[in-house]
Chains A and B, each alone.
Chain A
Amino acid sequence: MSLLERTDLSRRAYLRTAVAVGGAGALSACLERSGDDEIPRGTDDQRTLPGRQHAWNGVLERDDHGNVRPPEHHVLLALSLRGEPTTEDRETVESSLRTLERAFEWGASGLVFTVGYSHAYFERLGEPPAGVDLPAPTALTEREDPEVDEFDALVHLASDHASAVLAAEEALFGEVETLNGISVEVDLSSVFEREGALRRTGFVGPGLPAAETDLPAVPDAVPEDAPFFMGFRSGFRESQASEDRVTITEGPFAGGTTQHVSSMTLQLDVWFEQDSHAQRVAKLFSPEHADEGLVGEVGERLGDSSGLTSERIEATANDARRRGVVGHAQKAARAREDGQPLLLRRDFNTVDGDVPGLHFLSLQRTVEEFGRVREAMNGTDLAGSGVGTVLNNGILQYLFVDRRGNYLVPPRKHRALPPSAPTTE
């Protein structure tokens, strides 16, 4: 890595910290350091924006292999309603969100965001969302005991500019008068309370995880170029569901999607200091990936695909028996339908609480589909046949789920405090 790259990395790590801290002080620190004064403005014309809140792929950059490059900075805002939603509240929410769209171009160079609503929100309304199964979050493995998200709404803000996510957050709560030069007239503070303790932040990008090695739980062995804490690339085009595949097709929420957010702590000391690189590859991808050297140091040998052929997916049980280890990706891919993945992952690294972790955010047509993938990933059926309940059974040994939440992300037209069965004007 050149000196210039190092300087740039230290600047990006600084911005990452600013996003984690949040607030006006962090925003101004960020504006001073980032050189973000040229963030493209957005639009007033709703017709130019996609009808799906989760339509991000069309505006995000792609790498040489066609993989979508996720935005670098992320914030998840937990919101609780101050009272029963009124028509006026709906207008307030819609106007506040439109302010973000006017201020920033829709994209990673501006801002992308979604607003999702929880089971608790619809319980408050007295009716579940029409045509959508939105269960209350629960534990999904026998060994986890997660806190569950019981607040009403979750806003996911994402941008390559730290200042954009921070400023958008400030604007949503009336802490700034202008946003990227646009006057902030309306904000959410009369409708929602921020659950500050549940504010979550994170980042994705080559080099960013390795910039966190000053934290005691982040070992020096995190590879310099890895975009994720586990040390490898992720989000391969072939392993991701398309936006169409995760979009609700029927009912008043057609055009929306469901969102699962699990927040987990990662055990990186054992992963990097005890397991070998070959073991990490075998446990993350498949033993054949390790034996044949398909992955490279951080996944650079993989192009647009994690290399999960149908043979390698079908070999999972056999690999457990014959090889004594199975890969996480291989195991989870058993839940694919007609070879197509069910989940669109938009997860990101975090050091919230000063420990390394992952906010695993995924979109899927139904929450039940998430459960199916998670069950395949649990690999309970493989335990005792060459692999343990946890040990050598993918990466279960390194993940500790702290929180889970399920949300309905309505189509844009219903994003502001939707009733249980919205009618389409």
Chain B
Amino acid sequence: MTRNDDSNATRERKPRQYRTNRRGFLSRAGAAAGLVAVTGCLAEDDGTDAVPAFPRVEDPPEAVYVPTHREAMRVLEPLEAGEYTLASMLSYPHPFWLVDGTETVPVEPDSDLGVHMMFTVWDEATGTVIPLDSGAEIRLERDGEPVGTPRLPWTMISQEMGVHFGDNVPLESFGTYTVEVSLPPLGVERTGALAGRFTDGGRATFEFDYDEAFVEEVVGGVEYLDEAVWGRSGALEPMDHAGHGDSQHHGDDHHHDDGHNHHGDTGGHAHAHVPFSALPASGDYPGTHLLTADGAYPQSGDATFVLTVLEAGSRFADERYLLVSPRTPYNRVPLADMALDVRLERDGTTVQRGPLEQTLDDEFGLHYGRALEDVEPGDELTLTVETPPQVARHQGYETAFLRMEPIELRVPELG
């Protein structure tokens, strides 16, 4: 990236207090299907908006829904931080939602000035994106002086970005900023090629220019969707798959799971180096899959759950192993930091009950698992979501994965 050679001269200069221009989307939200870009509207004589408009969907469904717009961001070159690789993505400050138990708490940016700073963190060797809170920390400096106090960004999910760490970071003025990212050792149970890895933390430093060109790029790059599709069941395609004119799934193919794997399918696109945190397709999991009476993968709170019983002596346990992989519909983003409890009943008697352990595996990604000492075909299995995923949400995910009913399934013939 280029440095702002004029940074000293502009040191004390504060950018103008830009006003949000809401004409952009209102005038364009017509009836025609597809994407509507408003780039042209932003080049007003009075300059660029510091943030774009954030139209909301009125009364969105309690499910994943198509948001009002696709975010634009600047993707910086990936960096190594110990065993981790990370890429930062910068956008304009925007609303998001924290999760408090089964409720959400909306966060509005407290200033138009600043960035929404995001990181995708992954293991280059296996392509596994780190999908859960690991205590990543950021510190900003400008001209060698700290800017604000350190931050531990939220673990977030977005339809375009999948799992990432992010926060709105207010900045007082244009200039070149240095960011130090510290990643501690990974606290989660790790299996497969990840076992024994990430026992040390890592650190990386990068710079970015916060200037008018950046603001124009990210604000001007926002793509508003046709109002007719706002709030429909569906999701934007992940960033790397952003096509032109067809970048959302529609409700009619809800919960499709076509075996298409996003892993390693990033070559040739604009942000080629940044993997998207998609889990393997359901069909790629071994073992005996537990399905509903209609033969579908169970759902709860609009999340899809792949439940499979692995044979005894798998990589995970001497006994049979219950692997539970909750994911977003459409984009297969893993849902982290949940608390899941399983109960097995046979003839009305509980034979086993207990919590599942959150585990990160290079092959199956984030899942929740538990050894099953005694399981037989015909057993009633109840999976209880004690706590829904405590990850912050971008628009389109904030109403889903909150009120999650238990899943009840019958164990089929075991392979």
Contact = CB atoms under 8 A, between A and B. Distances in A.
Contact of B105 (A142, A265, A275): A275
Given A142-B185, A267-B152, A278-B100, A273 B110 contact: yes
Contact of A321 (B100, B184, B201, B339): B339
Interface residues of B, number: 42
Given A216-B172, A324-B339, A380-B187, A390 B101 contact: no
A267 B149 contact: yes
A400 B101 contact: no
Contact of A355 (B149, B188, B339, B387): B149
A388 B337 contact: yes
Contacts of A389: 133-135, 184, 187
A390 B152 CA distance: 8
Interface in A242-292: 265-270, 273-276, 278-279, 282, 287
A282 B390 CA distance: 14
A388 B390 contact: yes
A388 B131 CA distance: 11
A324 B99 contact: yes
B146 A392 contact: no
B112 interface: no
A143 B101 contact: no
Contacts of B152: 267, 390-391, 396-398
Contacts of A268: 149
Contact of B137 (A216, A325, A386, A400): A400
B338 interface: yes
A27 interface: no
A67 B188 CA distance: 41
B53 to A, nearest CB: 21
A276 to B, nearest CB: 5
Nearest to A355: B149
Contacts of A385: 339, 355, 358
A65 interface: no
Contacts, number: 124
Given A388-B155, A392-B390, A400-B149, A274 B184 contact: no
A219 B149 CA distance: 12
B354 to A, nearest CB: 11
Contacts of B154: 391
A61 B386 CA distance: 46
Nearest to A354: B146
Of A142, A145, A279, A324, most B-chain CB atoms within 10 Å? A324
Contacts of B184: 142-143, 389
A377 to B, nearest CB: 14
B387 A390 contact: no
B267 interface: no
A205 B187 CA distance: 38
Contact of B355 (A219, A321, A390): A321
Contact of A287 (B101, B133, B137, B337): B101
A387 B390 CA distance: 7
B148 interface: yes
A267 B149 CA distance: 6
Nearest to A218: B149
Interface residues of A, number: 43
B133 A400 contact: no
Contact of B337 (A265, A322, A387): A387
Contacts of B134: 388-389
A380 B339 CA distance: 15
Contact of B148 (A216, A325, A384, A386): A216
B110 A269 contact: yes
Nearest to B390: A324
A372 interface: no
B139 to A, nearest CB: 8
Contact of A269 (B101, B155, B170, B187): B170
B234 interface: no
Nearest to A143: B184
B181 to A, nearest CB: 12
Given A279-B100, A323-B387, A391 B339 contact: no
Contact of B133 (A270, A325, A391): A391
A320 B100 CA distance: 11
Contacts of B187: 142, 380, 383-384, 389
A32 to B, nearest CB: 32
A282 B100 contact: yes
Contact of B101 (A145, A323, A380, A388): A323
A386 B339 contact: yes
Interface string B322-340: 0000000000000001110
Interface of A: 142-143, 145, 216-217, 219, 265-270, 273-276, 278-279, 282, 287, 320-325, 355-356, 380, 383-392, 396-398, 400
5 contacts: A143-B182, A324-B99, A324-B390, A387-B337, A388-B390
Given A322-B386, A383-B133, A384-B358, 13 more contacts: A142-B185, A143-B184, A266-B149, A267-B152, A276-B100, A322-B387, A324-B102, A325-B101, A355-B146, A355-B149, A386-B337, A386-B339, A386-B390
Closest 7 CB pairs of A and B: A388-B133, A386-B339, A143-B184, A324-B387, A321-B339, A386-B387, A390-B135
